[in-house]
Amino acid sequence: MRNISLTIQYNGAAYHGWQRQKEVMSVQQMLEDTLDHITGEATTLYGCGRTDAGVHALEYTCNFRTESTIPCDKLPFVLNEQLPRDISCLNAQDMPPEFHARYNAKGKRYIYRILNRHMKDVFLDNQVWHCRRPLDILLMQEACAAFVGEHDFTSFCSVDSTVDSKIRTIYSLGVSRDGDVIEIDVHGSGFLYNMVRIIAGTLVYVGIGKIAAGDIPQIIASKDRTRAGITAPPQGLYMKKVYYE
């Protein structure tokens, strides 16, 4: 029995997230159905984590077990011939039997993209958060430093989260601008439910002057979700990379 890791890329606009669900199409279901057809087996994919409806992935890692003899250097081409245009397999690799895309992950990197101008851009529809109010990127950059390190991120987690510990480590957080598009780039050990989107929403509040950059340490320490910014919409969020040893 082989254990194969796939690196995939997807535009999440048409999907209800990664996780298979009843009565709605997910990225996992689309990939599993395609692999079923290719291998003649019932496939179960193990993903590196969940993404919400509308969220995208530049590089997403998953793995599955199979008796198929298709070589890994051929598998992406076979998959991409049958996958829809909004999902692409970038790489396939034989892994040790114990490898698991989620449990072996050592860190993740996300980016969040904001279109910051008054008029919309039709070519970025469902790809960015369109924020019309001018954003002060220097204030947003100033606020980033307080997030870096190990903290209890209860203030930046959905109230629906049921995890026991909300302590996570952020290795880096930056904000850059290229023309009308602002990009937030965050690398951490792992993230709570909606954590990246709440950080993005909070940085936007800093950029419009609704939250002071110097207030971020107090907001983190308060463990009070109501003190942070809004949850940014899903279409601006991209999983950029998953890190393994």
**Rg from Cα positions in the chain:** 19
229 φ, ψ (degrees, to nearest 5) = -80, -175
105 CB-near residues (< 8 Å, 6+ apart):
48, 49, 61, 190, 242, 243, 244
123 φ, ψ (degrees, to nearest 5) = -80, -10
Distance CA 174, CA 54 (A): 23
Check 33, 36, 52, 224 and give the catalytic one. 52
Q: Which residues make beta-bridge pairs with 136?
A: none
pLDDT for 164: 83
| 3-class secondary structure per residue, the chain | CEEEEEEEEECHHHCCCCCCCCCCCCHHHHHHHHHHHHHCCCCCCEECCCCCCCCEEEEEEEEEEECCCCCCCCHHHHHHHHCCCCEEEEEEEEECCCCCCCCCEEEEEEEEEEECCCCCCHHHCCCCEECCCCCCHHHHHHHHHHHCEEEECHHHCCCCCCCCCCEEEEEEEEEEEECCEEEEEEEECCCCCCHHHHHHHHHHHHHCCCCCHHHHHHHHHHCCHHHCCCCCCHHHEEEEEEEEC
Domains of the chain by start residue, with CATH: 2-95 (3.30.70.580), 108-244 (3.30.70.660)
Q: Which residues make beta-bridge pairs with 7?
A: 61, 91
Do strands 237-244 and 56-66 pair parallel, antiparallel, or not at all (unpaired)? parallel
Q: pLDDT tens, 110-123?
A: 999 999 999 999 99
Report whether 69 contacts 12 (CB < 8 A): no
pLDDT tier at 4, thresholds 50, 70, 90: very high
pLDDT tier at 79, thresholds 50, 70, 90: very high
Q: pLDDT tens, 157-195?
A: 988 777 889 999 999 999 999 999 999 999 999 999 999
| pLDDT, mean of residues 119-147 | 96
Q: pLDDT tens, 212-242?
A: 999 999 999 999 999 999 999 999 999 999 9
Active site residue 121: no
Distance CA 185, CA 62 (A): 22
Q: What is the mean pLDDT of the chain?
A: 96
Report whether 116 contacts 140 (CB < 8 A): no
